Structures are given as C-alpha cells and as structure tokens.
C-alpha cells in the first residue's frame, strides 16, 4: 500500500456464512465492476462446519456510504452471508474496566495515546480508587464503583448504564478482577474482551500463576478472549507463552506473565478494532 492509498477512505468487510462455490469471485468481481481497488483479501473455510469466512478491504471509486449499503445488499441478500462493514478510519468508543493492577491498563492507555489503537476511551470503570490518578493524567473520566456480593446486581446495572450512555462499542477488562454475571454479558450491548493470566484452558480461575508453579510447568501463558457467561471459556482471540525453569519463583512467573498479558491484550484489542475477528461456535477466525 503506497502513501496515496493510505490517505484514501477504505472499506473493510467481514463475511461469514454457508460455504459454496464462487463467493470469492463474486465479491471481487463486484468490487472491480464498480471501479474499486482491492488492497487486502483473505478467506478461510471451515471444512468440518462448511462455513466460509472472508475479510476484504478496498478503496471505493464512488461514495463510500452508498458503496457500503450496496455491498451489504450483495453480501446478505444475494450471498446469504452475515456481514460487518465499516470504514477503516472508524474510531469506536471503548470502556476500560480495571481493579488494582496497572500494567495492562497503563499499556492500553499508552497505545491509544500514541495512536497505535484506533479508538477513543470513553471512560474507566473500577471497583477501586487506586488507578484514578493515572486515568485523570490522561484526561479520562474515572468511575469508582465498589462492589460486594450484596451489591453486585446494583453495581452491574450502573456499569451497564454508564457503558450504554457513553456509546461504547467495546468493553476491555484490563485485569478487572470481578466475575461479570451472565445477565451483564447478555445485556451490556457490546463485546467484552478479557485478559486471563494463563494459557487457557489450563489453569482457569483464580491464581493461575500459583497453580502453574505448583504443577511445575515449563511454560506459562496469557489469553485474551471474548467474555461469555461461562467463566474463562469464551472464544479465544490471542495467546502467547514464555518458557520458565525450576529456578523461577512464583514472583518470577507473575513478572514474566505480566509482560505477556500486556502484549496479548493489546493484540486482541487491535484485531477487534481493525475488524479482523469473526467469532463462531466458541471459536474465532482472526485475519492477519
């Protein structure tokens, strides 16, 4: 992609649905016939489920809004696909949920501030006051909502109100150390990405680094996934691992793990913001 292409408005589309012959040819032919210039195109076929997936990015020749409308008619009407279509320049609002660990939280703030993540942080929600000063340094509103077993439903209702009121299209749990209820996940109105400090499905739940140390494993990992009603079992977006030895203490595992958590969470958020993820059947297709 040259400098001129970068400056032009681009459309990104994600498609998935029943596989059949001719989809790639029909989509690319449609764009070509309208004078568009395809910059990236990738596809995948799930042979077991017979599902087709595609991500395609192009520069339209005419009005981009009209192009998106007509392409949706093609994708959903003629091809029978589910479609997500947006401009590559689109900047959704996100909400960060945090507790007391600052490493993932600060990393996301820095990446957004440097323009590495194409989004606007609408606000921060936390069950502790500890990270307020960091949030306010970046000029981001901080909502302190302490939570207990007795107040969980009321606090979650307030969290949902804040998220919907600010128009957020993504919630990022940057080490928010609370289990979100099924009702919250089902009614919040946008995807929720969580970072779990282990290589799921191993060591789910609390204190995974301590579990890994006791088990004597030789690698530890971090997993970013979409949150679902089932704890730590949502569709996995990104994972990474680091090697450890018998010389590493629990503190060493935690230190090394936090490095992974930052990288993995940022990778997952970036892929979501760039419209690179299709989730299905508790799995994901992540286009590079």
Taking only the tens place, the pLDDT of each residue in 221-233 is: 999 999 998 878 8
Distance CA 57, CA 179 (A): 37
Q: Are residues 54 and 141 part of one domain?
A: no
Separation of CA 91 from chain center: 14
Q: Are residues 100 and 58 part of one domain?
A: no
Collapsing DSSP to helix, strand or coil, 121 comes out as strand
Distance CA 131, CA 142 (A): 9
Catalytic residue annotation: 232
Return the C-alpha torsion angle 196, 197, 199, 205, nearest 10.
-70
Nearest Cα neighbor of 55 from 7, 78, 8, 88 is: 88
| CB contact at 8 A, 155 and 181 | no
| CB contact at 8 A, 159 and 174 | no
> Can you give the pLDDT at residue 281?
87
> Can you give the pLDDT at residue 2?
54
Q: Are residues 108 and 21 part of one domain?
A: no
> Can you give the pLDDT at residue 233?
87
> Can you give the pLDDT at residue 204?
73
Helix (H), strand (E) at residue 28: helix 23-33
Do strands 120-126 and 142-144 pair parallel, antiparallel, or not at all (unpaired)? parallel
DSSP assignment letter at 49: T
Choosing from 87, 116, 140, the residue where a domain stops is 87
Choosing from 52, 87, 122, the residue where a domain stops is 87
Other beta carbons within 10 Å of 129: 11
pLDDT tens for each residue of 125-151: 999 999 999 999 999 999 999 999 999
- Split at pLDDT 50, 70, 90, the class of 15 is very high
- Please enumerate, as own/partner, the contacts of 204-207 that have beta carbons within 8 Å and a separation of 24 or more: 204/231, 204/232, 204/233, 205/231, 205/232
Q: Are residues 113 and 217 part of one domain?
A: yes
Nearest Cα neighbor of 236 from 209, 273, 264, 207 is: 264
pLDDT tens for each residue of 227-266: 998 878 899 999 999 999 999 999 999 999 999 999 999 9
Regarding pTM above 0.95, the answer is no
Q: Are residues 235 and 99 part of one domain?
A: yes
pLDDT tens for each residue of 155-164: 999 999 999 9
Q: How far is CA 181 from CA 152, 196, 225, in A?
A: 9, 17, 16
Q: Are residues 64 and 160 part of one domain?
A: no
- Split at pLDDT 50, 70, 90, the class of 208 is confident
Percent of the chain residues past pLDDT 90, beyond the cut: 86
Domain that holds residue 69: 3-87
CATH code of the domain covering residue 276: 3.40.50.170
Q: Are residues 81 and 99 part of one domain?
A: no
Q: Are residues 212 and 143 part of one domain?
A: yes
Nearest Cα neighbor of 265 from 54, 87, 97 is: 97
Distance CA 153, CA 218 (A): 40
Q: Are residues 157 and 60 part of one domain?
A: no
Distance CA 171, CA 124 (A): 10
pLDDT tens for each residue of 52-85: 999 999 999 999 999 999 999 999 999 999 999 9
Distance CA 230, CA 266 (A): 23
Cis-peptide, bond into residue 201, ω within 30° of zero:
yes
pLDDT above 80: residue 5: no
Burial degree of 62 (CB within 10 A; 0-12, 13-18, 19+): exposed
CATH code of the domain covering residue 83: 3.30.70.260
Count of domains in the chain? 2
pLDDT above 60: residue 3: no
> Can you give the pLDDT at residue 4?
55
């Amino acid at each position: 992609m040259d400098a001129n292409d970068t400056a032009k408005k681009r459309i990104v589309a994600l498609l998935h649905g029943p596989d059949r012959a001719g989809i790639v040819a029909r989509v690319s032919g449609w764009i070509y016939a309208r004078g568009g210039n395809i910059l990236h195109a990738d596809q995948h076929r799930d042979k077991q489920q017979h599902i087709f997936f595609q991500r395609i990015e192009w520069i339209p020749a005419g009005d981009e809004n009209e192009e998106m409308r007509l392409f949706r008619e093609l994708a959903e009407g003629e091809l029978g696909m589910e479609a997500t279509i947006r401009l590559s320049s689109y900047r959704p609002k996100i909400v960060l949920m945090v507790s007391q660990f600052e490493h993932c939280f600060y990393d996301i703030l820095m990446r957004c501030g440097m323009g590495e993540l194409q989004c606007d942080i609408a606000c921060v929600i936390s069950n502790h006051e500890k990270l307020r000063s960091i949030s306010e340094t970046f000029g981001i509103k901080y909502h302190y909502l302490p939570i207990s077993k007795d107040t969980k439903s009321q606090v979650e209702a307030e969290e949902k109100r804040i998220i919907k009121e600010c128009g957020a299209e993504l919630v990022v749990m940057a080490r928010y150390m609370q289990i979100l209820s099924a009702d919250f996940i089902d009614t919040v109105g946008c995807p929720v990405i969580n970072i779990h400090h282990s290589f799921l499905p191993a060591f789910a739940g609390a204190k995974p680094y301590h579990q890994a140390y006791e088990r004597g494993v030789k690698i530890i990992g971090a997993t970013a996934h979409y949150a679902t009603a089932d704890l730590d079992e949502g569709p996995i977006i990104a994972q990474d691992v680091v090697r450890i030895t018998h010389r590493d203490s629990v503190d060493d595992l935690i230190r090394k793990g936090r490095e992974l958590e930052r990288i993995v969470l940022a990778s997952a958020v970036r892929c979501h913001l760039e419209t690179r993820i299709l989730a299905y059947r508790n799995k994901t297709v992540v286009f590079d």
